[in-house]
A and B are shown apart, each in its own frame.
Chain A
Amino acid sequence: MIDAKLYARRRRRNTLAAVASYGATFVGLSWLALILGVLFWEGFSGLSLRVFTEMTPPPGAVGGLLNAIVGSLIMTSLALVIGAPIGILAGTYMAEYGRHGRLASLVRFINDILLSAPSIVVGLFIYEVMVRPMGHFSGIAGAVVLGVLVIPVMVRTTEDMLTLVPDTLREAAASIGLPRSLMIRQVAYRAARAGIITGILLAVARISGETAPLLFTALNNQFFSTNLNAPMPSLPAVIFQFALSPYKDWQDLAWTGALIITLAVLAMSITARALTGTRKAS
Chain B
Amino acid sequence: MVDVAWQESGVSAQDVAERAKVLNKLRIGDIIFHQITKISALFVLVVLGGVIVSLFLGALPAFQEFGFSFITAQSWNPVTEKFGALAPIYGTIITSVIAMLIAVPLGLMIAMFLTELCPMWLRRPIGIAIELLAGIPSIIYGIWGLFVFAPFLQARVQPGVIAAFENVPLLSTLFEGPPFGIGMLTASLILAIMVLPFITSISRDVFDAVPPVLKEAAYGLGWTQWEVWRYVVLPFTRIGVIGGVMLGLGRALGETMAVTFVIGNAHKISSSLLAPGTTISATIANEFTEAVGDLYTSSLIALGLILFVITFIVLAIARYLLLRIERRVG
Q: Which residues of A contact B (CB under 8 A)?
A: 10-11, 13-14, 16-18, 20-25, 27-29, 31-32, 35, 38-39, 42, 85-87, 89-90, 92-94, 96-98, 103-104, 106-107, 109-114, 116-122, 124-125, 127-129, 148, 151-152, 155, 179-182, 184-185, 205, 208-212, 215-216, 219, 236, 239-240, 243-244, 251, 254-255, 258, 261-262, 265-266, 269-270, 273
Contact = CB atoms under 8 A, between A and B. Distances in A.
Interface string B250-270: 110111110011000000000
Contact of B109 (A24, A125, A185): A24
Interface in B29-58: 29-30, 32-34, 36-38, 40-45, 47-48, 50-51, 54-55, 57-58
Nearest to B49: A110
Nearest to B108: A24
A97 B34 contact: yes
Interface residues of B, number: 89
Contacts of B30: 179-181
Contact of A179 (B29, B224, B307, B319): B29
A38 B260 CA distance: 20
A118 B279 CA distance: 13
Interface stretch (B133-141, B165-173, B211-219): B133-141
B112 interface: yes
23 contacts: A24-B105, A24-B107, A35-B140, A38-B144, A39-B140, A90-B37, A90-B43, A93-B37, A98-B38, A113-B48, A116-B311, A151-B43, A182-B26, A209-B138, A210-B137, A211-B257, A212-B138, A212-B284, A215-B285, A216-B288, A258-B140, A269-B132, A269-B135
Contacts of B114: 25
Contact of B33 (A107, A118, A184, A266): A184
Most chain B Cβ neighbours within 10 Å, of A116, A119, A179, A269: A116
B289 interface: yes
Contacts of A273: 128
Contact of B37 (A27, A89, A265, A266): A89
Contacts of A215: 285, 288-289
Interface stretch (B4-12, B72-80, B155-163, B225-233): B225-233
Which are the 4 A-B pairs with shortest beta-carbon distances? A209-B137, A118-B254, A24-B109, A181-B33
A114 B44 contact: yes
B226 A181 contact: no
Contact of B51 (A24, A35, A122): A122
A90 B301 CA distance: 29
Contacts of B42: 103, 107
Contact of B44 (A85, A110, A120, A208): A110
B59 to A, nearest CB: 9
Contacts of A112: 315, 319
Contact of A110 (B45, B50, B128, B226): B45
Interface of B: 26-27, 29-30, 32-34, 36-38, 40-45, 47-48, 50-51, 54-55, 57-58, 105-107, 109-110, 112-114, 116-118, 126, 128-130, 132-133, 135-144, 146-148, 193, 196, 200, 224-227, 229-230, 247, 250-251, 253-257, 260-261, 281, 284-285, 288-289, 300-301, 304, 307-308, 311-312, 315-316, 319, 323
Nearest to B228: A14
A24 B315 contact: no
A10 B224 contact: yes
A109 B225 CA distance: 36
B97 to A, nearest CB: 17
B227 A10 contact: yes
Q: Which of A85, A109, A185 has the most CB of B within 10 A?
A: A109
A118 B117 contact: no
B136 A35 contact: yes
A128 B136 CA distance: 29
B41 A212 contact: no
A39 B144 contact: yes
A265 B141 CA distance: 14
A128 B301 contact: yes
A117 B254 contact: yes
